[in-house]
Amino acid sequence: MPAHEALGMKTSMSIRDHVKHRLRGTWIHDVFNKLRSLKQRLMRQSDGERFILQRYFRARGKHLNLTNPQTFSEKMYCRMIYLNREQNPDFLQLTTQLADKYTARAYVASKVGEQHLVKLLWHGDDPSAIPFDELPAEYVIKPNHGSGQVIVVKGKADRTDIINKLSVWLKTNIYWSGKENQYYHIKPRVVIEEYLKNQDASPPLDYRFWCLEESQSLFRSTIMRIT
């Protein structure tokens, strides 16, 4: 990029940032945010589908085969588009339940029993209501809708820091980062669970499983709804 074009872009961004700073906290800023939020909701499905298709193209260097997907990646991306279009409310509700770290507990309990669940110590949508004095010396805090957002408490907890961090996390919707529709409808809340450890106090091994649906008819029905 020529130097004069780069300078022009930098100047334009500086002016835009200056205007945004001056308008922040005014009624104009509030109206702009409301209009932007309304546009996001109205255009969410079309923007989400475009984002997913572009994401696949950037990762694979080719366009997604929507009519006859063959590879695992193609089928998974087609499934994401199918969920984004919300053509099967029951299936979307199930995937949302399983993506929610709190509601997934009920699903697991219904399939294999509550004895296989990590002990739930507390849950709620107000971090300031966490009963710190009633919790054990060690426990794990996490939001039900996030990924990689975990607070492990051992001993005295920094309550102010925990509350502030959770308050920020609860205001976010992970859907907007990847446009995967199962996350959009999750109601954010805090989940506090028992801290698991081995007899020597070390953390347990973290086993993770890919669970794949082998039924080709399920994929065929998905593609028929997409096309």
> What's the pLDDT band for 145 if we cut at 50, 70, 90?
very high
How far is 56 from 54, CA to CA, in rounded Å?
Answer: 5
Q: Read off the pLDDT of residues 162-194 as tens digits, 9 standing for 90 and up.
A: 999 999 999 999 998 889 999 999 999 999 999
Could you give the CA distance from residue 95 to residue 97 in angstroms, rounded to a whole number? 5
State the average pLDDT for the chain.
84
Domain that holds residue 27: 1-42
For residue 139, tell me if it sits in a domain: yes
Q: What's the pLDDT score for residue 12? A: 52
Give domain status of residue 107, yes or no.
no
The position carrying tokens 């005295």 is: 156
Strand order in the sheet with 138-143: 120-124, 190-194, 138-143, 151-154
Q: Is residue 183 part of a domain?
A: yes
**Does the residue 93 lie in any domain?**
no
Instruction: Give the chain's domain count.
Output: 2
Strands 151-154 and 138-143, bridge-based pairing: antiparallel
Is the Cα dihedral 34, 35, 38, 44 positive or negative?
Answer: negative
Q: Is the predicted pLDDT of residue 95 greater than 90, yes or no?
A: yes
Lowest mean pLDDT segment, chosen from 9-13, 83-87, 153-157, 202-206: 9-13
Assess if residue 205 is contained within a domain: no
- On whether residue 169 sits in a domain, the answer given is yes
CA dihedral 76, 80, 83, 88 (to 10 degrees): -20
Q: For residue 173, is it within any domain?
A: yes
- Percentage of residues in the chain having pLDDT higher than 70: 75
pLDDT over 90 at 45, yes or no: no
Residue 28 lies in a domain: yes
Candidates 219, 164, 207, 170; CA nearest to 191 is 170
Return the pLDDT at 9.
47
| pLDDT surpasses 90 at 33 | no
Last residue of a domain, one of 42, 58, 74: 42
Residue 72 has pLDDT above 60, yes or no: yes
